[in-house]
Structure 1
Amino acid sequence: MFLASYRFGAHYDVFAAMTGAPGPIAVIANACDSWPRARDAALTSELVPLRELGFRPEEVDLREYDGRPAELGDRLARFPVVWVRGGNTFVLRAQFARSGADRILPELLEADALVYAGYSAGACVLSPDLHGLETSDDPGEVQPACGIDPVWAGLGVIDRPIVPHLDSPTDPEGTGNALANRLAAAGTPHWALTDADVVVRDGKETRLYTG
């Protein structure tokens, strides 16, 4: 797993070493489903840079697999890498639940069948719990975008929360810093990432690469 605050952080070389020669890559942009006017542009902002790096990106839109987890599993199993972009973590989590991605992706990871690369919401959704992220992502966007209530449990693939955008110009209100401070004060293990930092788990080894 390659988990970042923003895209590759300062460590594209690490991503490239994990994925090997550029090839097919599934792009999941459902964290942007509550942004109907901006979603297409948000997706394009992922596809174009990946193509420029030599990858062959294809969107896998989880909305097309609502209640069809077997079909989603078959589709994702064709890709060696899945790229999950940022946006609203709660919207992404809800779309994972509706499509069955919250079961399929952990199974594929357990089988070492793909590399999961996610940034911001795409990384946070793997945490055990999403409480605290409501200071930066609005759970109220879930019902209009997804038709279900917010899911507050993360996938639990990693053992602690990720707090993205530490000291970042993309977080002018400092919500990431405030959440990291609260977790630290409570003695809760977490990864607080600047936009240059990356957490990588390869097998049983987990490593933090800082900017």
Structure 2
Amino acid sequence: MRLYLSSFRMGDDFDRLVEAVPRGAPVAVIANAVDFIAPEDRLAYARAVFDPVEHFRSFGLGPYDLDLREYFDRSGELEKALTDTRVVWANGGNAFLLMRAMVQSGLDRILRERVAAGTLIYGGWSAGSVVAGPSLRGIELMDDPGVVVDGYVPEPFWDGLGLVDYSIVPHFQSAHAEAQAAARTVAWMTEKGLSFRALRDGEAIIA
């Protein structure tokens, strides 16, 4: 397995990701897509609703929080920090903010190289899945590309990681607050003749 790209949270096939790595394998969990949300609100959500780090831990893996802001313009140090990591997982939020964090830290290059080499699995949900495609064009109908916080460059990056050769649209035809925006995005990509895959919540792309 190289990729596990879910529409919402861990998806219905999460056990396949768990089975693809050894028990206790280090998992870097990235939450930079929600850096625009106050830390206390993020902590309250993790405690009361869903905590990805605890979820990975409950399945016998070794998750840890990875804040990419600590590695902006320090890609060499990030590469060393990820040496033993077997899975990089990006949570949902704003895809453009997440892509900024990946580019500014150099994680985009590291992921392309290590996923291609088969030494790392990349996974994520919503924004974490969106950035795996070749482009973020059309995703501005779901996420605001102008959302930035301190330390981030103001201009959005429109190129994705290119780990798959099609765009990914999460929350399509789902009981999710972004379902209508997903439908608009699918209509726009269809009109433009773009290659894409629309995911319903629960579905995941596994490659």
Provide TM-score, normalisation by structure 1. 0.87
Q: Sequence identity of aligned pairs in percent?
A: 37
Find the partner of 2:193 among 166, 177, 187.
Answer: 187
Change (3 A) 1:87 1:145: farther
1:121 CA drift (Å): 0.6
Aligned to 1:114: 120
Q: 1 CA distance for matches of 2:154 and 2:79? A: 22
Q: 1 CA distance for matches of 2:44 and 2:76? A: 29
Decide whether the 8 Å contact of 2:85 with 2:120 is kept in 1. yes
Q: 2 CA distance for matches of 1:128 and 1:173? A: 22
Q: 2 CA distance for matches of 1:51 and 1:149? A: 36
Q: 1 CA distance for matches of 2:74 and 2:136? A: 25
Segments of 5+ residues of structure 1 without an aligned counterpart are 202-211
Aligned to 1:19: 21
SS at structure 1 position matched to 2:69: helix
Aligned to 2:103: 97
Q: 2 CA distance for matches of 1:23 and 1:127? A: 26
SS at structure 2 position matched to 1:146: coil
Look up the equivalent residue of 2:15 and give its one-letter code. D
1:90 CA drift (Å): 0.3
Give CA-to-partner distance per residue, 1:70-89, whole Å, 9 cap, x none.
01011112211111111100
Q: 2 CA distance for matches of 1:196 and 1:7? A: 8
Decide whether the 8 Å contact of 1:91 with 1:145 is kept in 2. no
Aligned to 2:42: 39
Decide whether the 8 Å contact of 2:57 with 2:63 is kept in 1. yes
Segments of 5+ residues of structure 2 without an aligned counterpart are none
SS at structure 1 position matched to 2:79: helix
- RMSD across aligned positions (CA): 1.9
1:130 CA drift (Å): 0.5
Decide whether the 8 Å contact of 2:171 with 2:178 is kept in 1. no
Decide whether the 8 Å contact of 2:25 with 2:61 is kept in 1. yes
1:150 aligns with 2:153: no
Deviates most, 39-48 or 182-191 = 39-48
Q: 2 CA distance for matches of 1:71 and 1:62? A: 11
Look up the equivalent residue of 2:162 and give its one-letter code. G
Regions of 4+ moved over 3 Å: 39-44
Give CA-to-partner distance per residue, 1:171-202, whole Å, 9 cap, x none.
3561111211222233322110001111111x
Alignment of 1:42-57 (within 5 A): 45-57=51-63
Q: 1 CA distance for matches of 2:43 and 2:157? A: 25
Look up the equivalent residue of 1:40 and give its one-letter code. L
Provide TM-score, normalisation by structure 2. 0.89
Count of residues paired in the alignment? 201
1:141 CA drift (Å): 0.9
Decide whether the 8 Å contact of 1:77 with 1:113 is kept in 2. no
Aligned to 1:64: 70
Give CA-to-partner distance per residue, 1:20-66, whole Å, 9 cap, x none.
43432111111111112433345662112222222221111100001
Q: 2 CA distance for matches of 1:98 and 1:78? A: 22
